[in-house]
Structure 1
């Protein structure tokens, strides 16, 4: 699905810029960067700060090769270019990989008559064990559409999307695709430059409980659940990860859709029928061989932890969520996601103030 998020007209952007300049000049000089509004930062500034290399997947390569591209570049998503249609077919991420795997394993499940011709072709190829082009799998999960904005778009418009179900947008200029801005890109920028944004700093200083976060129900499985059943549960509940619990109910691991890369990369589909605990042990071993880490981190924080601490932990572990617990190694009470963070820090303004 290819969608375009249309930002303000250039004339409106110019007017907003003039108003910001007048507003800046009218404020005391000692306010300096502390008076800067984070949501008026243009997308181009984030891309400049991130020094991002654009990764685009050739739509004709098979899903397995597209997955390998994500792994080699250490990213969770990339746009897919369809040269035949001369457009971006969509975004490809690990949700799509999981959906592709589940479709291939569900040979007895009838196809919805209203499904698109592209989806029906993907199902046919997957179930007959033929290569599936990445352009057919792009956004097969229907959770990662291709949205685009221009370089001058302010973060307020992007953050409004990130407060919903969208996790990344493509930034375009006259030459084409300039880069990708994700929830993580914005949060890392704000966290690194927090002293410039007192409004964000004040929110980050409050506890998870004080902000009313940590009230979502937890999707979790015990360690004896098969990896395949865990993936089905994630897909059914539209979540990208879940907690793996011990016999006493404490969190012993975090299982994510991105962990499907270990199945595809090693061509060990038998791992899908292992227990979550066995699978986590396998990942621990493989991860240790690759980068020396001997244990996967458990992403949990206390109710009394500040939102800033939770955000710092998500950045450090490259996670999109943390589990909220009452005590260390205790059972999960809830979960806080990057989407929750955006809902907390994104102001609701009159369009004329943007």
Structure 2
């Protein structure tokens, strides 16, 4: 097969730590699906050197009814910090919520491979700060999972550059093919630029919650010398409000209200069909400036979630078969990996309904460390096939030795959307609620005036490498299901 000279056709990027081999031309959705079907065990075959998963030796801990109860009623356990007792949240300093361990530095001349490994290992804030050189104390940019996702799409030849970036994408793909080290400096044009918001640690939470409610995802916290001493994220602030909400009356009073009563969230959603190739989800997140997308069955029932943080499973050349397989297959791998890492069964808790209370929604966000929850209505049957009686955990995680561990290693099943029982797992996708939406509500409830978060969302979309579809920013409900 010929190797095209232009990036307008797909590159053949050879193996590297985060530059997996790519197909020589951009395959269609149908061909990717067929390829994924024929190579369904390829990813497992590449894991031969790993010890067998302990999950293969036991059955899931919960019955299906217990799993459903867990999905509907997540644990509400809170971890109160006595130093916040009796204090109004507006008197709490930003610096009290961060730690020096949150900060991990790399330099502009650090290779993308080394920066990616630092990002994967540095789990406290899911971002590394970039400075000009090792002597500098000022950040000039950041590197996170959205940037890693964009880079992977470039080196495997599956990104969609605008005309002015075609030449750069050609160069980067060629270097990756030749296994030439690529510094962070070279990939800055393809990275999504988000505002670097810096606040002194002695400021109270007024400024932080107003910024987060306006759509900013993280704040760099500095000391009196201007040095970065911590990173405050939306999730970290949400955890603070959840654990300490009882001390803050204005916030605590909101928890008993339902999502419908509060009018929180959006009906403008981008989702992907479970049968779509994984590359469809990765490109959607990159082009639209999203951190996650919902995965739905043919009845538009939510069956999973893929986030940019999940691209850490794609940083090895052995992960190429995942790119050629379906979104549903990737979800099965994600859940299996989580279970192996945490030493316990992992089940998805990624949706709420309009009658869920704010407390229920925040509890799920904190428990799953997610940035958004999908809002579902009553379930819809799949139009392609009769619904199956139950979507048991064995669909995602094989739990018998014969199914989970063959001579070629663990096997991850792939379930077509036409046979998924999403109606038993969740419900029909109707909206989304994000950390930004809830923190915007908290800010307004205490008299603050955060700006419209859609401005930041539009900026992230514009700063992506390209966007081939019209923006979904509109006043009407819009659910775009990609196949």
TM range (shorter): 0.7 to 0.9
SS, match of residue 303 in structure 1: coil
CA RMSD of aligned residues (A): 2.9
Match of 1:209 in 2: 260
Provide the rounded CA distance (Å) in 2 between the counterparts of 1:128 and 1:254: 32
Higher relative contact order (CA 8 A, sep 6+): 2
Go from structure 1 to structure 2 and tell me whether the alpha carbon gap of 1:108 and 1:136 turns closer, same or farther (over 3 Å shift): closer
Measured against aligned partners, the alpha-carbon deviations of 1:90-124 in whole angstroms (never above 9, x if no partner) come to 111111111112233448966554x7xxx976762
Instruction: Mark the runs of 5 or more structure 1 residues left unpaired by the alignment.
Output: 1-31
Go from structure 1 to structure 2 and tell me whether the alpha carbon gap of 1:110 and 1:73 turns closer, same or farther (over 3 Å shift): closer
Match of 1:56 in 2: 105
Matches within 5 A, 1:1-354: 36-47=87-98, 52-74=101-123, 75-83=125-133, 86=136, 87-106=138-157, 112-113=163-164, 124-129=171-176, 130-137=180-187, 140-175=190-225, 176-265=227-316, 267-327=318-378, 329-347=426-444, 348-349=447-448
Q: TM (normalized to structure 2)? A: 0.59
Q: Could you tell me how far 1:253 is from its partner in structure 2?
A: 1.0
Q: Could you tell me how far 1:140 is from its partner in structure 2?
A: 4.2
Q: TM (normalized to structure 1)? A: 0.79
Provide the rounded CA distance (Å) in 1 between the counterparts of 2:318 and 2:243: 39
Match of 2:395 in 1: none
Q: Could you tell me how far 1:297 is from its partner in structure 2?
A: 1.6
Measured against aligned partners, the alpha-carbon deviations of 1:136-186 in whole angstroms (never above 9, x if no partner) come to 446843343322111122211122221223100111114521110111111
User: Which structure dedicates a bigger proportion of its chain to helix?
Assistant: 1
Q: Answer with 307-316 or 142-151: which moved more.
A: 142-151
Provide the rounded CA distance (Å) in 2 between the counterparts of 1:206 and 1:296: 27
Q: Could you tell me how far 1:193 is from its partner in structure 2?
A: 0.9
Match of 1:10 in 2: none
Measured against aligned partners, the alpha-carbon deviations of 1:186-243 in whole angstroms (never above 9, x if no partner) come to 1111111112100011122211000112432221111110111111122233221111
Provide the rounded CA distance (Å) in 2 between the counterparts of 1:299 and 1:237: 20
Q: Answer with 88-97 or 267-276: which moved more.
A: 267-276
Measured against aligned partners, the alpha-carbon deviations of 1:10-65 in whole angstroms (never above 9, x if no partner) come to xxxxxxxxxxxxxxxxxxxxxx966x442342211212xx6744322343332232
SS, match of residue 260 in structure 2: coil
Aligned residue pair count: 313
Go from structure 1 to structure 2 and tell me whether the alpha carbon gap of 1:85 and 1:54 turns closer, same or farther (over 3 Å shift): closer
Provide the rounded CA distance (Å) in 2 between the counterparts of 1:252 and 1:273: 20
